[in-house]
């Protein structure tokens, strides 16, 4: 019976032990994630202490270098301490990028933070080389016994099964401990010795603290306010879509009404006939236009040809007159020419017909006692007949009584002058 009671007692003790073990998280022996306060990643919650640019992004706040080998620093405006509790813990999710050498650091004031990291190659006592654009998870803890640790992991924080990449630990002096415990401390992110200038950057993707936050968060947007803003934006978007749908529906109605009006005025066949007629008229207009252009071009061509022929005739006449003038100059003086004309007129103007045997060249002739015409045997031996009047030579076909004329013969012939009226 005694052994049975002993077994039963140990059984109760074991059950009590299990209950206590299961109760540890509930009692706060294991820290819950819900104990952390998240510092918003917006410009009004952070301060940039360097000259490079910075931006708010979907991943967090990104800040850049400015020039060769310059520094970049950013700190939280929200400040913390742990005067109201025994331990302080800060979680920082961050990543870096530089296509050449640079060094990076996260932590709290007074040197409470990580060791320096580098990109590409280790240098001097900086042994931990980062992978560009890879997230790192740094957890900084300060305990009431003035000890601190800064553990940086990949994949997740070390307390959440992350892979430890760098571990730093130490003990604070009483002065530094009191500043951390009771002072006003910001979270810092820094890079330096930057060989790529504005191409180097650092991203802060998450900051959580379990200490006492001294800064008023009233300027920050709460999750409820953010949800309300999103809900309002969705509502506004839906209202705009509904308004546009109504406008489209009204436009469709207007188009249908116009189509109905057209259908009420004309049948489809009438519209098709009108369109076909318009196309035909258009083709005729184009055809007439093309024909007119063709005829105009042809007329211009004919006029040009006629003008060329006329110019040639004028030139030929000019050449003939020049030839006549040269012949006269070589044959007669002015007095001799006048006497010759008087002699010819006296000899041939007394009858109404006369004949001469003329050779090729220029000859001086007169009319009969009345209006006469000249002809030759054989025919077509006359090239031209000129009368000298008012200082110039003029081509004529009829010969007037009492006047002298120059005739150009192109082949030997019998030259006949005969009155037109006997």
pLDDT-based confidence at 351, cuts 50/70/90? confident
pLDDT-based confidence at 15, cuts 50/70/90? low
Of 305, 330, 355, which marks where a domain is finished? 330
374 in any annotated domain: yes
**Within this chain, do residues 259 and 281 fall inside the same structural domain, yes or no?**
no
Averaged pLDDT, 266-284? 75
pLDDT at 3 exceeding the cut of 70: no
Candidate from 94-103, 240-249, 354-363 with smallest mean pLDDT: 240-249
CA distance 109 to 401: 139
12 in any annotated domain: no
**Within this chain, do residues 138 and 196 fall inside the same structural domain, yes or no?**
yes
8 in any annotated domain: no
CA distance 247 to 102: 58
**Would you state the pLDDT for residue 131?**
95
**Would you state the pLDDT for residue 188?**
95
Candidate from 61-65, 75-79, 99-103, 201-205 with smallest mean pLDDT: 75-79
Of 290, 399, 298, 294, give the one whose Cα is nearest residue 349.
Answer: 399
- Print the domain residue range for 75: 31-218
**Within this chain, do residues 229 and 209 fall inside the same structural domain, yes or no?**
no
**Within this chain, do residues 43 and 174 fall inside the same structural domain, yes or no?**
yes
**Would you state the pLDDT for residue 134?**
96
pLDDT at 10 exceeding the cut of 60: no
pLDDT at 166 exceeding the cut of 90: yes
**Within this chain, do residues 114 and 198 fall inside the same structural domain, yes or no?**
yes
**Would you state the pLDDT for residue 317?**
72
**Within this chain, do residues 84 and 208 fall inside the same structural domain, yes or no?**
yes
Cis bond before residue 100 (omega within 30° of 0): no
Averaged pLDDT, 341-347? 71
**Would you state the pLDDT for residue 350?**
64
Contact predicate 96/201, CB 8 Å: yes
**Within this chain, do residues 78 and 147 fall inside the same structural domain, yes or no?**
yes
Averaged pLDDT, 406-411? 93
**Within this chain, do residues 203 and 88 fall inside the same structural domain, yes or no?**
yes
18 in any annotated domain: no
**Would you state the pLDDT for residue 32?**
35
Of 294, 313, 330, which marks where a domain is finished? 330
**Within this chain, do residues 306 and 338 fall inside the same structural domain, yes or no?**
no
**Within this chain, do residues 79 and 203 fall inside the same structural domain, yes or no?**
yes
297 in any annotated domain: yes
CATH number at residue 80: 2.60.120.200
pLDDT at 347 exceeding the cut of 90: no
Query: What is the average pLDDT score of the chain?
Result: 81
pLDDT-based confidence at 308, cuts 50/70/90? confident
Of 124, 114, 206, 216, give the one whose Cα is nearest residue 160.
Answer: 206
**Within this chain, do residues 76 and 105 fall inside the same structural domain, yes or no?**
yes
17 in any annotated domain: no
CATH number at residue 355: 2.60.120
**Would you state the pLDDT for residue 11?**
52
Candidate from 49-58, 137-146, 172-181, 253-262 with smallest mean pLDDT: 253-262
**Would you state the pLDDT for residue 5?**
54
133 in any annotated domain: yes
CB atoms within 10 A of CB 289: 10
**Would you state the pLDDT for residue 81?**
80
Candidate from 238-247, 352-361, 408-417 with smallest mean pLDDT: 238-247
Contact predicate 183/175, CB 8 Å: no
Which DSSP category does 115 fall into?
P
Of 201, 218, 235, which marks where a domain is finished? 218
24 in any annotated domain: no
**Within this chain, do residues 126 and 207 fall inside the same structural domain, yes or no?**
yes
Of 290, 321, 302, give the one whose Cα is nearest residue 394.
Answer: 321
How many domains does the chain contain in total? 4
């Amino acid at each position: 019976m005694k052994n049975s009671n002993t077994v039963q007692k140990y059984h109760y003790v074991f059950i009590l032990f299990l209950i206590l073990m299961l109760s540890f998280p509930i009692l706060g022996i294991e820290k819950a994630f819900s104990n952390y306060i998240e510092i918003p990643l917006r410009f009004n919650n952070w301060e940039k202490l360097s000259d490079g640019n910075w931006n708010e992004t979907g991943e967090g706040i990104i800040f850049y270098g400015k020039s060769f080998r310059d520094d970049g620093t950013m700190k939280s405006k929200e400040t913390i301490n742990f005067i109201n509790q025994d331990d302080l813990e800060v979680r920082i999710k961050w990543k870096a990028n530089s296509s050449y050498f640079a060094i990076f650091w996260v932590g709290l004031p007074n040197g409470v933070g990580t060791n320096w990291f580098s990109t590409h190659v280790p240098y001097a006592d900086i042994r931990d080389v980062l992978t560009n654009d890879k997230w790192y998870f740094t957890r900084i803890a300060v305990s009431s016994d003035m000890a601190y640790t800064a553990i940086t992991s990949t994949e997740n924080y070390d307390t959440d099964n992350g892979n430890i990449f760098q571990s730093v630990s130490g003990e604070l002096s009483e002065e530094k401990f009191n500043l951390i415990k009771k002072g006003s401390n910001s979270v810092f992110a820094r890079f330096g010795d930057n060989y790529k200038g504005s191409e180097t950057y650092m991203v802060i993707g998450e900051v959580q603290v379990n200490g006492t936050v001294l800064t008023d968060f009233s300027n920050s947007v709460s999750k409820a306010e953010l949800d309300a803003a999103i809900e309002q934006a969705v509502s506004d978007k839906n209202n705009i879509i509904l308004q546009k749908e109504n406008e489209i529906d009204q436009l469709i109605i207007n188009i249908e009404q116009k189509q109905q009006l057209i259908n009420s005025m004309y049948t489809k066949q009438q519209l098709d006939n009108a369109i076909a007629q318009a196309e035909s008229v258009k083709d005729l207009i184009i055809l007439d236009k093309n024909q007119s252009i063709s005829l105009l071009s042809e007329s211009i061509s004919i006029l040009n040809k006629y003008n060329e022929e006329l110019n040639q005739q004028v030139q030929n006449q000019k050449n003939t007159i020049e030839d006549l003038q040269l012949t006269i100059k070589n044959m007669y003086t002015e007095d001799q020419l006048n006497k010759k004309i008087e002699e010819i007129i006296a000899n041939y103007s007394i009858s109404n017909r006369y004949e001469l045997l003329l050779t090729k060249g220029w000859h001086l002739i007169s009319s009969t006692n009345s209006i006469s015409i000249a002809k030759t045997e054989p025919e077509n031996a006359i090239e031209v007949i000129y009368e000298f009047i008012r200082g110039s030579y003029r081509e004529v076909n009829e010969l007037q009584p009492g006047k002298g004329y120059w005739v150009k013969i192109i082949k030997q012939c019998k030259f006949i002058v005969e009155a037109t009226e006997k």
